[in-house]
Amino acid sequence: MKVGISLSNRFSILEIFRGIVGKRGWDYLERRHKLRTKCRIEASLFYGTGLMGAEIRDVSVSGVQVVCRGRVPRGAEVEIRGLKLYHQAEFHTVRCVVRWSRKDPQGCVVGLEFLDPFEEVAQSWLAWELKANNIKVILARQRRRAVRVECLLPARLITARKQLQARVLNLSPYGALVQSQGRLLETSEKVAVCFGPIGHLNKLMLKGWVANVHVSGAPTYGVEFVELEGQELAELKRYLDFFREDAA
């Protein structure tokens, strides 16, 4: 099935970064690309007290990317409902949580993670809709969306209240694993990771939020980046190339 250029393609970090890579080096997004299946499925998104029109743009074993006609915040619990009634389906509502949300001229683009077990999703209207459109989901899981490069990079972890001395342990187009001393940060807390310059690599300050916290030994945080622009992504790729080649 041929799919035109979608709103999610035009605005996603994935596509910007892939454009930077082109034919000029390592594609750090390759692992995620293999696990997602493009599609265009009309649906309804139930949030709060009302329904809004939506279109599913890609699907994986763990969730979907959706363009919806209204705004939905990160962390909200929603339901995806189909427009067709499949009598073979046991579940006609799929429960999800919004993992990320981005503004769009038609509303917003959201990344939804399934709250229901995939075994239940496989018996829902969504599975029958995919089957009707001859779309196969790659039944494989991975812990990370993209290739991560190991490093030991001096950095600062900047919060609304203070700056913490830190070091970046690994790095990807989507985020970093950062270890620091001092006050323990909370999940969902907004931060910025600042590192460099190193040699020919420029100083970078990348905004993000704390996705997870590990407290074995020195506090270590999984930081997910947000609001990255094209130039920031180009500079980030230079860091990824540098540490990948250094480890080779």
Does pLDDT of 20 surpass 60? no
Q: What is the bridge-based pairing of β-strands 77-82 and 220-225? A: unpaired
Identical fold for domains 7-132 and 149-247, yes or no, is yes
* Contact criterion met (CB below 8 Å) for 219 and 213: yes
Peptide bond into 73 cis (omega under 30): no
> Model confidence at 32, in pLDDT bands (50, 70, 90)?
very low
Look at 23 and 148; give whichever has higher pLDDT. Answer: 148
In the chain, where the domains are located: 7-132, 149-247
Does the pLDDT value for residue 139 go beyond 80?
no
**Do the Cβ atoms of 158 and 165 come closer than 8 Å?**
no
Q: Report d(CA 196, CA 156) in Å as an integer.
A: 10
Q: How far apart are CA 114 and CA 229, in angstroms?
A: 28
Is the pLDDT confidence value at 81 over 50?
A: yes
Over the stretch 41-72, which tens digit does the pLDDT of each residue have?
999 999 987 899 999 998 887 889 999 988 88
Q: Which CATH superfamily is domain 149-247 in?
A: predicted glycosyltransferase like domains (2.40.10.220)
CATH annotation of 7-132 = 2.40.10.220
**How deeply is 156 buried, as exposed, middle or buried, from its count of CB atoms within 10 A (0-12, 13-18, 19+)?**
middle
